[in-house]
Structure 1
Amino acid sequence: MLHRENKIKEYHTSSAANLLKEVMDYYDITQKDLAARIGVSQKNISDILNRKRFLTEVLALRIEKIMGISSKLLLALDSNYKLNLAKANINNQQKSSPLFLKKYDWVNHNTSNLSFN
């Protein structure tokens, strides 16, 4: 359960791991305890918290049932996090790859002068 006196983090750039860590810290739940409650290994929880693995729909639903955190929120956080990683990768590739489309100086963007006879 989150309380108003807790600082609000910007989750749009965070994964579900950040929210899970925050709730685990608040309730003093260990990785081993959470793993046992949702039926996975402690290694699985560790991988999720360290962003080596992301939540599946089934795990998100189990966490929702045990911790009361919306499964939709958890999945959205991970999805947005992965999308931001992909965008960063694409932006880095665009700078160095000749394969991405580029505007050419000789292309005239003013089409009002064109006549179609």
Structure 2
Amino acid sequence: MLHRENRIKKYHLSSAADLIKETMDYYSITQSDLADRLGVSQKNISDILNRKRFLNEVVALRIEKVMGISSELLLALDSNYKLRLAKENNEVTKADSKSPLFLQQYDWVTA
């Protein structure tokens, strides 16, 4: 039932790591095996899965070739995840119209 006091739940946010872990679990593949197939170190895979490092374009393309997961999807998941983290951690200051940094139209502009 619609009601003003009902809160809208935040959309579950996941990174590429979640999708990679799910696929690894489905195929019963280890970090070491995935690292060998991708041509990267097991430490690199561990860092990605623990969100200490995010995918770059080359690794995303290798994952697409090996696991069949779209590289565009993987990069979009990581990008959205990092953006949400930045917003939640207030790493970006909110634009304040009274702030000298906020874009202001010149008073002499008549357009």
Q: What's the TM-score once normalised by structure 1's chain length?
A: 0.69
Q: In the TM superposition, what is the alpha-carbon distance from 1:93 to its structure 2 partner?
A: 6.4
Name the counterpart of 1:26. Answer: 26
Q: Can you give the 5+ residue segments of structure 2 that lack an aligned partner in the other structure?
A: 1-10, 99-111
Provide, for residues 29-55 of structure 1, a one-character-per-residue CA deviation record: whole Å limited to 9, x for no partner: 000000000000000000000000000
Q: Which has the higher helix share?
A: 1
2:40 pairs with 1:45? no
Residue of structure 2 in register with 1:106 after alignment: none
Q: Across the two proteins, how many residue pairs are aligned to each other?
A: 88
Quick one: percent identity of the two aligned structures? 75
| Cα shift at 1:12 | 6.0
Root-mean-square deviation (Å): 2.1
Higher RCO (CA 8 Å, separation ≥ 6 residues): 1
Unaligned runs of 5+ residues in structure 1 are 1-10, 95-99, 104-117
Tell me what 1:70 maps to.
70
Q: Which residue does 1:87 correspond to in 2?
A: 87
TM-score (norm 2): 0.72
Residue 32 of structure 1 aligns with an amino acid whose one-letter code is: S
